[in-house]
Amino acid sequence: MAACGGANVIQVEGLNKRFGDIRAVDGVSFEIRQGEIYGLLGPNGAGKTTTLSMLAGLLAPDDGRILYDGTELSVDPLGVKAKLGVVPQETAIYEELSARENLRFWAGLHDLGDVDRNTRVDEMLEQVGLSGRADERVSGYSGGMKRRLNLSMGLVHGPKFVLLDEPTVGIDPQARNNILEIVRDVAAAGTTILYTTHYLEEAEQLCNRIAIMDHGKLLAEGTLDQLKDRVGREEVVTIRGAFDADRGRKAVAGIAGIEIVGAEQGKIVLSTSGDGRGSLDVLSRVLEGKLDVDGVSIQPPSLNGLFLKLTGRELRD
């Protein structure tokens, strides 16, 4: 994957959003370099859509700043939005129209400069692989085709910045790969991308840098290698059985090289530092007879392991 050494063109500083008692976005800051695909990875309810909606200018932050090319979104919303492409999670397509008609309509809402609208629409249809069926009604399209059309609607005006909200949810692997390819191409042409997902593999395959988000906060950020370094050789061990949190904690207290990540009724999550193997042996010996254990699972060093360590729960929970 190409390194992105460009300037920071998207800057987010201290973003906050509450809904009643819920801190949907809680002190989020990050920067994205030109041409980078920046992944916001987190489970449902993490605050991804709320973050993206604020970056899209669709939702006002309680506080914090959002800058594109050094210009604050709140200072020049129209100027900034003209350079912005937004691909929402829910598709915003007229099912009774064809893909071409949808795109023409969408393109008509934007100033395309000197570019001829029909030419641009043809290019977009080609880029997302819908040229062959562009004049059919969208209602007959597969989920993957609708997603590609939705994507093209966010790209038709040639934006400098694109915000994508989980664009591959609910489609098959081939259709997903299709979308990822298009996103890669768009970034390779110099467009800067914010990509939200709850799929770990996607973030790994696609993104130059990844921020792990949960409960409104960014918990870790970096390239895949940096995040993996952070996990080091640690393994995450989950022990399940008939015990409560307190008993679980007591049983493993004081074992060298073990850190308790989380404990609840019937489950305790540990991380092992250094040489995982040895500490596991110790662990199994100490546990013998101390806890009524139903099962032990070991998560090797991985992003999922890092997530588990940071939050005490699986990304897929």
Sites of contact with ligand ADP (CB under 6 A): 19, 22, 24, 42, 44-50
Q: Which of Mg ion, ligand ADP, none interacts with 42 (beta carbon under 5 to 8 A by kind)?
A: ligand ADP
Q: Which residues pair with 295 in a beta bridge?
A: 240
Q: What is the smallest separation between the CB atom of 29 and ligand ADP, expressed in angstroms?
A: 17
Q: What is the smallest separation between the CB atom of 211 and Mg ion, expressed in angstroms?
A: 15
Select the span of 44-52, 79-87, 118-126, 210-218 touching Mg ion (CB under 5 A): 44-52
Q: Which of Mg ion, ligand ADP, none interacts with 312 (beta carbon under 5 to 8 A by kind)?
A: none
* Nearer residue to Mg ion within complex by CB, 105 or 199: 199
Q: Give the DSSP H or E segment for 257.
A: none
Residues 6+ apart with CB under 8 A from 189: none
Q: Looking at 17, 34, 42, 49, which residue binds Mg ion (CB under 5 A)?
A: 49
* Nearer residue to ligand ADP within complex by CB, 202 or 234: 202
* Nearer residue to Mg ion within complex by CB, 163 or 306: 163
Q: Is residue 53 a contact point for Mg ion (CB under 5 A)? A: no
Q: Which of ligand ADP, Mg ion, none interacts with 248 (beta carbon under 5 to 8 A by kind)?
A: none
Q: Is residue 150 a contact point for Mg ion (CB under 5 A)? A: no
Residue 101: Cβ within 10 Å count: 16
Q: Please name which of 204, 225, 153, 222 lies closest in space to residue 182, comparing C-alpha atoms.
A: 153
Radius of gyration over alpha carbons of the chain, in Å?
23
Q: What is the smallest separation between the CB atom of 64 and ligand ADP, expressed in angstroms?
A: 15
Q: What is the smallest separation between the CB atom of 207 and ligand ADP, expressed in angstroms?
A: 16
* Nearer residue to Mg ion within complex by CB, 49 or 191: 49
Q: Where does the chain have alpha helices with state H?
A: 48-55, 77-81, 99-108, 117-127, 143-155, 173-188, 200-206, 224-231, 245-252, 276-287, 303-311
Q: What is the smallest separation between the CB atom of 311 and ligand ADP, expressed in angstroms?
A: 13
* Nearer residue to Mg ion within complex by CB, 137 or 217: 217
Lookup: tokens for 293: 């254990």
Q: For 287, phi and psi rounded to 5 degrees?
A: -70, -25
CB 23 within 8 A of CB 216: yes
303-311 vs 224-231: helix axis angle to the nearest 10? 60
